[in-house]
Homo-oligomer: A and B are copies of this chain.
Amino acid sequence: MGGFMVDLAGKHIPEGVLFDAISETPKDIPDAIQLLTPCTMGNGRLKVINLGRYALSLFDMHEGNGIRVFLDLQKLHAWPEIKTWLFQLKAKIDQDKLLEEIQRAGPDILGIQPIQVCAEHIGKPERRRIATCILCGEAYPAQDGGICRGCQGEGPYL
């Protein structure tokens, strides 16, 4: 699914335009973007902004104008397995059936709209001052406060 979505978005980016990417979910779509485009989390050209929607955008890295591709629920009626998967209607999805439907449906279930990314998300993040955390002793962005966010209790560890 992610592959079809990246493909469709890519077709609407004019040749030669350098684009960045946003995925609105951490599921599947970031993998597809990283496989099929030069945008990765590592190089800063792919951002995951988790809005819980199965959608992505590709946009001009300087201007922020681009294309958003999403699953169009209006078009899902003919595709029961995809609908069951998207709405998590069953605990156990039949992966073979699902993949077969995704292959047959292809871009037919996708919607597309022009978008303008806001300034905050265009271009490289600026260089930030890095400090040493007095608690854990590791480097962290100074703007996070007197200690790092890990030591502020945001970490996933006991």
Contacts and interface: CB of A to CB of B under 8 A. Distances in A.
B130 A88 contact: yes
Contact of A157 (B71, B118, B158): B118
Interface in A3-49: 22, 24, 26-32, 34, 40-42, 44, 47-49
B155 A49 contact: yes
24 contacts: A26-B48, A27-B41, A31-B40, A31-B42, A32-B42, A34-B34, A48-B48, A49-B154, A51-B149, A51-B150, A51-B154, A52-B140, A52-B144, A52-B148, A53-B136, A68-B157, A73-B132, A86-B130, A86-B139, A87-B139, A117-B158, A118-B156, A120-B156, A121-B156
Contacts of A52: 140-141, 144, 148-150
A90 B127 CA distance: 9
Nearest to A137: B73
B130 A87 contact: yes
Contact of A138 (B47, B73, B154, B155): B73
Contact of A30 (B42, B121, B150, B157): B42
A134 to B, nearest CB: 12
A55 interface: yes
B117 A157 contact: yes
Interface in A52-109: 52-55, 57, 68, 70-71, 73-74, 86-88, 91
